[in-house]
Amino acid sequence: MGGKDKVTGYAVVLSRAQLGMDAPEVKVEVNLGKGLPAFQIIGMPETTVREAKDRVRTALINSGLEFPTARITVNLSPAELPKQGARFDLAIALGILAANDQLPLTALNDLECYGELTLDGKVRAVPGMLPSLLQTQRCGRQALVSIENASEASLLRTSIAAGATTLAAAVRHLERREPLPAITPATLLHRPHLAGDMADVRGQQLAKRALVIAASGGHHILFVGPPGTGKTMLAKRMLSIMPPLSEQQALDVAAIQSITGIPFDLQQWRQRPFRSPHHSCSATALVGGGSIPKPGEITLAHRGILFLDELTEMPRHVLDVLREPLESGEVHISRAKQQTTFPACFQLVCALNPSPCGQFDGTLSSARSTPDQIINYLARISGPFLDRIDLQVEVPRQPEALKFQAQDEQVPDEERSTAIAPLVAEAQQAQLERQGCLNSALSVAQIKRFCALKEADHDFLVAAMEKLKLSHRAYHRTLKLARTIADLAEAEHISRAHLAEAMSYRALDVLLNQLREL
C-alpha cells in the first residue's frame, strides 16, 4: 500500500540516551495504528521529549513530507531508562516516515540518529554527542547527526557519521538520492598551552621546586603566603610543565565538555583543563548535581588542574565535599530519579593568606591580628581536608626579587618551562613503567612495595610525624611524596634526604603548631 493509504505500520530507529558519562542504547519504536488520529510518546520521557510531538509534526509538514493520519505511538525502549532533551527528534521523525512507507526500513539498519528538529525542519546540534558517537563506533554502526555536531564527530579516528542540515536532506540521504558527505577525522595537532613560563616567576625557588614535585607525581599542593607574592601566578604556570594528555585522556576530556554543552575547540586538543571557580561557588557547582545530575567543576577539571584561590574564604562545608573525590578520583551523585558517577581525577592547587589581615609572614610583628584570630581564620579549613593535601608550601615576600624586575637579567635556561617539562615527563614515565600509575595514586600494597624504607629512616619519619601530630593518611602521603622526590633524583630507593625534603613541605601544620604554643 502507498503512503496515503497506509493505516498501520511499524519501524525501529536506534538512538542513545545520556546518563552521566554513559550513552545507553534506546530503541525508538514507532507504530501506526487504526483509530482516531493521535500522537503519544511513552517510555519515561521528560518534558522536552514529550514536546517532540509538536516539533516533529510541524517539521515534517514544513519539510514537504507527509504526516500520517493515524494513531501514532512512539515507545522509547527500555522504558525504565530516563530520557531527556531533544536528541530523539530526528529518530522519531524518521521512524514515522519509515512506518508510513515513506522511507525504506533497510535504510535504518545499523544506523543511529541524533538531532533536534526546528519547526522549519532544520536539524540542530544536541549536547553529549561525543559519548554517544564513541559507543556507536564500538558497536560498529553508522550515525546520522546534525552538521553542527561535526566538530565532535571529527574527533573519531574513523569516519562513521554523516551530518545533515535539514530533515529533508536526511531523508534524501537515506533514500540514496543525495548522499550526505561523511564527516572526516580532523587533523589533531597538540599546541602548547598558553599558560606563561616558569621563568616569569622571579625568586620563590622553594615554591617552584614544590610545583615541579607536584606535577611529577600528581600531588595536591597548597601555597601559603601574603597577598602579591606570586601564588596565583605559580598555580597557572603549572600547566606549562605538565605533559600533554594522551589520545584517550583527551577524548575523555572532550566527552565531558560535550555533555556539558561546552563547544569543543580543536585548538585545545590534548591540553589539560584549568578550572578556577570563584570562592563563592556552591557545593553543587563544585561537585555537580541537580535533579538531573550534571558535572561540576571537579569533573570539568578531570585530568587537569582545579585551582581554588582564597581558600579560607570558601565555606567549610563546600571544601569538605571534595574529600571523597580527592581520594577516589570520581564523584557519585545520587538523586531520587537517577544515580550517576562522573570522573574527577584532578590535581588540586590551592592558595590562601595566612591571616585575616593578609600581612602575617610568620612573625606577629608583621600582622595586625592576634594569634587567636589567625588560628580561628585558618580553622575554617577542616583537618580532614587539609590532610589530603600533600604539599603545603610557604610563599613569603621576597623584596630582593624586585631588584631583578628593573634589571634586564637573563633567566637561566634551566628555570624555563621548556627545560623543566622534560624532567617532569621523564619522572612520570618512570612511575608508569614501574607501577602503572603516578605516585599519588599508589595503593597501600604498592606503597609497601615501592616505598620501602630502612629501619633508621622509618624511625626518623615516625618521629617527625609524631612531632607534627600528623595522621596515618599523612604518613602514606609523605611516603608517596618522598618517592616522587627520589624519582626526580633518579634514585632507586628513598633516602633520608628525600624524606626530610618531603617533611619540609608542611608549612601550614608548622605554622599552626607555632601559633598554638604562643
For 343-376, write each residue's pLDDT tens digit: 999 999 999 998 888 777 666 666 778 888 888 8
| pLDDT bracket for residue 107 (50, 70, 90) | very high
Collect all residues with Cβ–Cβ distance below 8 Å to 360 and sequence separation of at least 6: 226, 353, 354, 366, 367, 369, 374
Strands 116-117 and 123-124, bridge-based pairing: antiparallel
* CATH annotation of 198-517: 3.40.50.300
Common-topology check for domains 9-174 and 198-517: no
Helix (H) or strand (E) holding 162: strand 161-164
| pLDDT bracket for residue 7 (50, 70, 90) | low
**Residue of higher predicted confidence among 337 and 462:** 462
The set of cell numbers assigned to 378 is 585558618
For residue 292, the SS3 value is: coil
**Residue of higher predicted confidence among 383 and 303:** 303
Beta strand ranges found along 290-389 (DSSP E): 294-295, 305-308, 330-334, 339-343, 347-352
142 close to 111: Cβ distance less than 8 angstroms: yes
Indicate the range of 184-188, 337-341, 437-441 predicted with least confidence.
337-341
The set of cell numbers assigned to 212 is 615541579
The overall pTM is greater than 0.85: yes
> Domain locations in the chain?
9-174, 198-517
Indicate the range of 33-37, 93-97, 147-151, 509-513 predicted with least confidence.
509-513
DSSP 178-216: SPPPB-PPP-----------GGGS-S-HHHHHHHHHHHH
Question: What percentage of the chain exceeds 70 in pLDDT?
Answer: 95
Instruction: Write down the mean pLDDT value for the chain.
Output: 91
| pLDDT bracket for residue 203 (50, 70, 90) | confident
Across the range 243-258, mean pLDDT stands at 94
Q: How large is the C-alpha radius of gyration of the chain?
A: 29
Collect all residues with Cβ–Cβ distance below 8 Å to 461 and sequence separation of at least 6: 453, 475, 478, 479, 499, 503
Burial class (CB in 10 A: 0-12, 13-18, 19+), 10: middle
For 270-288, write each residue's pLDDT tens digit: 999 999 999 999 999 999 9
The CATH fold assigned to 9-174 is Ribosomal Protein S5; domain 2 (3.30.230)
For 163-173, write each residue's pLDDT tens digit: 999 999 999 99
pLDDT of residue 305: 97
